[in-house]
Structure 1
């Protein structure tokens, strides 16, 4: 955290007995030492007396540098020391934000965390200890399922080395220390990994100056109307700033591959992380066109421990610049796109915990609205998977009427509310606004391609693409070089995305062959790409739909879900891969949704096994599935 004393603590860690004694004998000064903030991330390997050889990563607390932090927060075999200033009024919010940040980067493990309060010399010892202990208990209670936070309370003056608190901290570190692994930084957008042999060069000499707010003389381009102004950095400025660091072409390649910037001409570069202007209201004005239609989705954090990483929205904006045919308009908290007769808007909520996606067509083109809406959803889902994989999210449907009325806030419906309303006549009443809408006016799903509509789920389901590639190559759907392009992608998710993109461009025959192959090797994924899959939620007489909200609300016990999976697996109704898909979902509610969807597609026998398992672990839910 900013001015918490992380860099000072790092120096104190390294002092042995004699240097510490000399430091204590120095004449103290009544004046405060000037604050010299860490530029980005300072990396070094040090020997800490009593602990041993460690690699220390000092993350800057200033918000402008946090854009790149998520690239390094998922390293395994690490201990995170969250240092905060006991004097700050915002200490609880600051600690909570950092713990949420650590959680967001680590979906499959519980990282070790130590909370340390600094500036012990500024508070009475008793009240300071009580305050630090209270904050520790609050954080442990909230993050108990996500992080392993040490029980020990630390309140220390980071400038002092020979203290009982420092000795306790070193002993705890020595106890928790594990073998450190070599760290390799990879870029999600590149087919080849980038290996950085000097991490401190990348983090401090490159990322630090790049994200510092005063490094570049930001230019404002006014080649279009004022609302379309955008800020850019010239190639000459990049060369001036980094002339003693590295070749300018290498620097630009690195910044591009880490998705920190984009250029349309090779001479001027837009850095979304440097944007400061908020979205002006005039860029999304009401229209009087009688045929205009609005649609929208909301992706919000699932609970209080979740957050979008600081790099999330800048990376979304970089992806928009690279993937949209027309240049999007960008602001610190928003982005606007135009494609044919459809306009799209992505707007962050004021607290940064929700991304609202809106599309509209003055000509009433519902099909094109559906395509753009899904494109924007896919970008958000992909970026979340890249830089906030541990963030639990909940997807909602925005009120079309509220969007058309251009209300200041975004109003939404939960998916369970939509499903229930569709089964009970097709009308829905907004719980806070009180007006009634037709479900058909909220959704444009009937016009969506199943490959696009279910893309996030397909990306997770298609973890093993090799048997699919072999069969598609044999039947002539894939060209000779296309399997290699797919295999060259770094992660299973990226391989699945490339496969879906290639198949999606090849027309109806390719989709039919793709579906046939999936029916053979991955029936669960096959159901997602069949045209009827999107209509599963409209059967009024299906108890799994009628009672879906209650089932999802109450089926959150890990023990209950695992018991059900074991029953279904042992009876041959689901596969190991399908169990993995369910377990990979971020929140208990998402696991319950995926479980119910899979069971619905499996037929009556699977439903009976589900009921038997529920009777064993949660009897009151068993009556809701028949």
Structure 2
């Protein structure tokens, strides 16, 4: 942005663990698009972590490439939870830096991790901007390769880059040219080529004129001493600057200012959707940095020690000098960096990103009384997908908030898990390698199945919601956890699971799915919450079995049908003739129904249950019923056919069934 006149300046994001990361910046910077220097990393040493956390912002100029806003993002793991707050990836060039002296397998793994991380962060922006970000591969350490070995090294590195292109070329604009550089030689011709490549990702833009007026006014807004605004308040301030700018113009201008590093717009996690506008980025970076600084980071005079809970005085000691501490704590809650809990009469704070203890496997040991078990697994679809390291800490904060809203407090929390125990026991667990999340619930009584399902749905919603914020480009698959594993295994890493498609295919056959590792067949009805889970109905629609009828629909339908069974009858040993004929088509005779009168609170519930049981028992694997079968298959299609034949198409019972499907969008 030239004198705030509207010229577009691109962003350069820098994430580092190694000193040579800044060597490349120094070399390029002998000096309008956005460039991200995105480095793969290993576990950092104390020296490598000596730079501060947070995000340092500066304007730089790269020769032959242009002017950039430099975002120097800290690379230590504790800070990952904040990256999605700052990163915007429209029209971006990423420079991926690895070490040419590493083993070839390590180099390939490093590129795959980097590319999957980029894809996870940027896909939403790609969809919005209709453009792919550019990726340039750079290897450092050219000076460490012997001349006689250089041709072999170049061939091997080119092959690694080619395979990476084949995997990720669908999602990213990966340049064919790759570089092996000596960062000590900024004038080298290869460094000039790299600068030229930066311009290949160039996409000239001009920011809205409103941006200049907002920036001029921002200095006045900062005098409040707390440079944070909710979107509504910010929008009102903008209206004072320009007469009635429309909402779209405000959003476009705000996004441009975010990309310029002048402000940060953080989307809200609350239902009201009121975004947060940060007017002073360095201020925001300093307070977040001081909160999340690892113990080996030296720029801050005080850091939080790594422990499970922090008192108000712990936080105040670290944040002393930053305006109102209570306002800051509220901000950290909104950003999902921490949550509060009660320890006796004192309020304590938990910062999931600083937890360093993994869940003991004794936390989910077999329990003879808790035999009602259900679970789901959300895993990365393939090698191009990954979960952001910042995903699980934010998910833990989100879950704890919702648990409290459900009047269920957290029983315990670890780096890779969170658990509650309140009538039903629930565990949310991140597997090793951060490739899958397990959601497990168990209870003692069948009457708690609804509570189990509600818990599963709450966690599932939060999982998808947080993934959409922290790694929107990650594709995930849903699997169903084995109930047998949940009852008998203590280590969540060993839980068996079934792909959702296998569940649906098995339901179409004999209602059982076989797990080879467990060497055991399980009934689908024991894996999904019958009466509440609509998975089968949504997939098979009217061809699904009547046992999957949702509980509220079953209650209304049974009440109407039970009236029909008695219509016109007085004696206990009699039943309505139409009801009798209907039951006969289900393979159930009058005498059986009369016998149920003495033990069933609802004849219709017994009728549907027995119809489903008998059909499942007799249904041959993979076979379809023939037209001459006297017993109808227990599907909703046939139930409606029977009802319309024995009663009428507009009968209230027909309306009840069809309404259930309409409510499910079918």
- TM tier, shorter chain? 0.5 to 0.7
State the 1:314 CA deviation: 0.6
State the 1:75 CA deviation: 3.0
Q: What does the per-residue CA deviation read over 1:320-359, in whole Å, with 9 as the maximum and x for residues that have no partner?
A: 22111232221111111123x2001111111111101110
Aligned partners of 1:44 and 1:200 also within 8 Å: no
Corresponding residue for 2:89? 75
Corresponding residue for 2:589? none
Q: What does the per-residue CA deviation read over 1:66-105, in whole Å, with 9 as the maximum and x for residues that have no partner?
A: 2222223343122222222223343332322221111112
Q: What does the per-residue CA deviation read over 1:3-52, in whole Å, with 9 as the maximum and x for residues that have no partner?
A: 16222322333336xxxxxxxxxxxxxxxx96444524333221112222
Pair 367,135 (structure 1): closer, same or farther in 2 beyond 3 Å: same
Show the 5 A alignment for 1:220-369.
Answer: 231-264=308-341, 268-289=348-369, 292-324=371-403, 325-328=407-410, 329-339=412-422, 341-364=423-446, 365-369=448-452
2:179 alignment partner, one of 148, 151, 154? 154
Pair 1:55-2:140 in alignment: no
Aligned partners of 1:104 and 1:388 also within 8 Å: yes
1:429 alignment partner, one of 494, 514, 519? 514
Pair 382,105 (structure 1): closer, same or farther in 2 beyond 3 Å: same
Pair 145,353 (structure 1): closer, same or farther in 2 beyond 3 Å: same
What is the TM-score with the length of structure 1 in the denominator?
A: 0.64
Pair 1:438-2:515 in alignment: no
Aligned partners of 1:38 and 1:58 also within 8 Å: no
1:114 alignment partner, one of 110, 127, 136? 136
Aligned partners of 2:304 and 2:318 also within 8 Å: no
User: CA–CA distance in 1 between the matches of 2:383 and 2:376?
Assistant: 20
State the 1:280 CA deviation: 0.7
User: CA–CA distance in 2 between the matches of 1:304 and 1:150?
Assistant: 20
Show the 5 A alignment for 1:373-384.
Answer: 373-384=456-467
1:134 alignment partner, one of 159, 178, 190? 159
State the 1:287 CA deviation: 1.1
State the 1:267 CA deviation: 5.1
Corresponding residue for 1:464? none
Aligned partners of 2:138 and 2:180 also within 8 Å: yes
User: CA–CA distance in 1 between the matches of 2:426 and 2:154?
Assistant: 51
User: CA–CA distance in 2 between the matches of 1:58 and 1:178?
Assistant: 22
Q: What does the per-residue CA deviation read over 1:366-396, in whole Å, with 9 as the maximum and x for residues that have no partner?
A: 2221111111111111111222211101101
User: CA–CA distance in 2 between the matches of 1:140 and 1:422?
Assistant: 40
User: CA–CA distance in 2 between the matches of 1:303 and 1:348?
Assistant: 17
- Aligned to 1:336, the other structure's residue is in SS state strand
State the 1:601 CA deviation: 7.7
- Aligned to 2:182, the other structure's residue is in SS state coil
User: CA–CA distance in 2 between the matches of 1:131 and 1:233?
Assistant: 50
State the 1:298 CA deviation: 0.6
Considering only aligned residues, what root-mean-square deviation do their CA atoms show, in Å? Answer: 3.3
What is the TM-score with the length of structure 2 in the denominator?
A: 0.60
1:216 alignment partner, one of 280, 284, 303? 303
- Aligned to 1:287, the other structure's residue is in SS state coil
| Structure 1 unmatched runs, 5+ | 17-32, 221-230, 455-507, 510-537, 541-545, 548-596, 603-626
Aligned partners of 1:39 and 1:65 also within 8 Å: yes
User: CA–CA distance in 2 between the matches of 1:243 and 1:407?
Assistant: 44
Q: How many residues align?
A: 438
State the 1:120 CA deviation: 2.0
State the 1:301 CA deviation: 0.6
- Aligned to 1:263, the other structure's residue is in SS state strand
- Aligned to 1:141, the other structure's residue is in SS state helix
Q: What does the per-residue CA deviation read over 1:249-289, in whole Å, with 9 as the maximum and x for residues that have no partner?
A: 34323322211111236953211111100001222221122
- Aligned to 2:143, the other structure's residue is in SS state helix
User: CA–CA distance in 1 between the matches of 2:154 and 2:53?
Assistant: 31
Corresponding residue for 2:567? none
| Structure 2 unmatched runs, 5+ | 1-15, 32-45, 127-131, 206-255, 259-263, 296-301, 539-554, 557-612, 617-621, 624-660
User: CA–CA distance in 1 between the matches of 2:304 and 2:420?
Assistant: 27
User: CA–CA distance in 1 between the matches of 2:321 and 2:201?
Assistant: 39
User: CA–CA distance in 1 between the matches of 2:421 and 2:380?
Assistant: 27
Show the 5 A alignment for 1:532-571.
Answer: none
- Aligned to 1:343, the other structure's residue is in SS state strand
**Whose radius of gyration is greater, 1 or 2?**
2
Pair 1:123-2:145 in alignment: yes
